[in-house]
Amino acid sequence: MTTMRTSSSRRSNSTTERGALAAALTAVSLLSVLVLASPARAADEAAAPDAAKLWKSNCQSCHGPDGKGKTKAGEKAKVKDLTSAEVKAELTEAKALESMKNGVKQKDSDKLAMKSYSDKLSAAEMDALAKHALSFK
């Protein structure tokens, strides 16, 4: 016995197949975006410097863990309290970066109160530290 398809049943199957194909393509596209984006995001996060760790190993001995400068070395160097309203009003990210790149001279002297970190820290690390210095409250 031969079964004959009508044109409406062929249209129905064709529409169903197109819908399934479109859904499959959408799923594949979404999956490829997720798969490709995850390693890129992980690489960005892995590459981002840990500002708190950098602060502890490079800045904390003078500026203290809280940015107040209440350490022996900080008091000797007369570092500014990064939490004070006066310092916060004048300190910018650019100024913090300049201090790290070029060092800071003592008042009325050519001696450095803070050495340059340009040979020790990358630009990304200094950027992270500048933001960290501005975050103290």
Residues 58/120, Cβ–Cβ less than 8 Å: yes
CATH class assigned to 51-134 = mainly alpha
CB-based contact 65:94 (threshold 8 Å): no
Q: How far apart (Å, rounded) are the C-alpha atoms in residues 86 and 106?
A: 19
pLDDT digits (tens, 9 = 90+) for 54-78: 999 999 999 999 999 999 999 999 9
* Most distant CA atoms of the chain, gap in Å: 108
CA 47 – CA 27 distance, rounded (Å): 30
CA angle 107, 113, 117 (to 5 degrees): 135
pLDDT exceeds 90 at position 51: yes
For the chain, what are the domain ranges? 8-47, 51-134
d(CA 74, CA 76): 5
Give me the pLDDT at residue 18, please: 73
In the predicted structure, residue 48 carries a pLDDT above the cut 70: yes
For the ranges 13-17, 68-72, 112-116, the maximum mean pLDDT occurs at 68-72
- The CA distance from 23 to 30, in Å, is 11
- % of the chain residues with pLDDT over 70: 68
